[in-house]
Amino acid sequence: MNVNEIQRQTPLKILFLTSSYPRTPDDTAGIFLRHLAEHLAKRGLNIHVLAPSDGASKTSTAGGITVHRFRYFLKRAQRLAYGSGILHNLRQNPSLWIEVPFFVGSMSYFLMRLARKEKFDLIHAHWLLPQGLAAVYTERWHRVPVLTTAHGSDAFGVKAFPFQILKRNILHRSAAWTANSHATAEALRADTETTGPRIIPMGVNVERFGNGNRNRLRTGLKDDDFVLLFVGRLVEGKGIDYLLQALALLPWTLLNRTTLWVVGEGQDLSRLTSFADDLGVAHRVRFWGQIENDALPDVYAAADLFIAPASGAEGQAVVLAEAFAARLCVLATRIGGIQEVVADGVTGMLVQPQDSQALAGGIEKLLTDSELRQKLASNGFLRARTYFAWETVAARFEDLYQGIVEKASQEGR
């Protein structure tokens, strides 16, 4: 038996490099990466994760996944990661830029040390900046191939010329790269003059989201009352302003039976609360804040219509796959990667972004046509089961890992 045959019989040892990963069992920060890691571990891969901490550096193992946390600033002053995400945190509080070089330096240091100790077969960098940058320069020293995945914000939110040069360098030096949608891939190709990404979306636990309890959270609502649902960060670009305006535009007889649930946290919460009050619909809106991940299936099950009113660029919007899996009809805007997830008139309804009147018309049409609503929801569920199931997504990433590692082995790395 030669060396290559022995290596193929040994489980692949993969490192996820990320700026966001759940810190507790109930944390939803980067939750899709934990789900991906768990399903890859179920397939027999040896998965490690390097992610920032909220406190001291530490290592822990759970569910077959080893998570290494690195500290990047004064323990009580670390504010760059988590919350609304690095880009939104920097926009909200420019003073956090002082933490950026410390973050990049600490991540790079811990990555180099971990790569030397663990001898990974592959580094999977999630987001180009700064993870992809740290990964490709580690590759120079430790000869471990790098797969870089773009999740959307790195494609749409970092456009300055110096960053375009960095992104081009990262993608050219990666053994391969993936994007969560064609929209994300096209945005990066336009900026970096690169070709050849693999389109692999983030997934959803179809069985879990398909078995929520509809009645658990509908206390106080009548059987014929409607619940509209938004799930996501309360930040610029999510279009929640337009959703609140659309709610206010509904006919009184329909509005009187309709409640909007807004699930999520973000810096726009107080502004949106005041805006709902100004529109006169505050009594028809419930801001839930962040909900534990285990409770989300019941939230989706309680709703009658899921709305993604994005007004800015979107890479994939994982919440749409969750809504599909929950057999919930989807109304969304015709923008970015949303158009790849939602087929208008087939798996949901699409309207123009930043158009409250069109959004209100879509809400009225879908709430008053139960047959159409059910047809779209059924088609969406089939789409989730055949394309977005984590088992399918994890298998696609494993195949890609195997191909990259085998090619690197043949090249003598």
Please state which of the ranges 50-54, 72-76, 238-242, 295-299 shows the lowest mean pLDDT. 72-76
Phi and psi at residue 78, to the nearest 5°? -70, 110
Give the pLDDT score at 2. 42
Instruction: Name the strands in the sheet holding 305-308, side by side, starting at the edge strand that comes first in the sequence.
Output: 285-289, 258-263, 226-231, 305-308, 330-333, 349-351
pLDDT at 278 over 80: yes
- In order of their start, the domains of the chain are 3-203+390-410 (3.40.50.2000), 206-388 (3.40.50.2000)
- Note the pTM of the prediction, 2 decimals: 0.88
Instruction: Name the strands in the sheet holding 122-126, side by side, starting at the edge strand that comes first in the sequence.
Output: 58-62, 65-70, 46-52, 13-17, 122-126, 146-150, 176-179, 198-199
* Section 66-73 average pLDDT: 96
Give the pLDDT score at 159. 67
Give dist(CA 175, CA 190) in Å, integer: 20
C-alpha 407, offset from chain centre: 29
Give the pLDDT score at 413. 59
Give dist(CA 206, CA 226) in Å, integer: 24
* Section 39-46 average pLDDT: 96
pLDDT at 8 over 60: no
**Cβ 265 vs Cβ 235: under 8 Å:** no
Predicted confidence (pLDDT) per residue in 105-135, tens digit: 999 999 999 999 999 999 999 999 999 999 9
pLDDT confidence band for 3 (50 / 70 / 90): very low
* Section 254-274 average pLDDT: 95
Highest mean predicted confidence (pLDDT) among 183-187, 235-239, 297-301? 297-301
| Tokens at 366, concatenated | 């879908």
Neighbours of 130 (CB within 10 A): 22
* Section 164-182 average pLDDT: 91
Give the pLDDT score at 43. 96
pLDDT at 5 over 70: no
Q: Is 185 helix (H, G, I), strand (E, B) or coil?
A: helix
pLDDT confidence band for 1 (50 / 70 / 90): very low
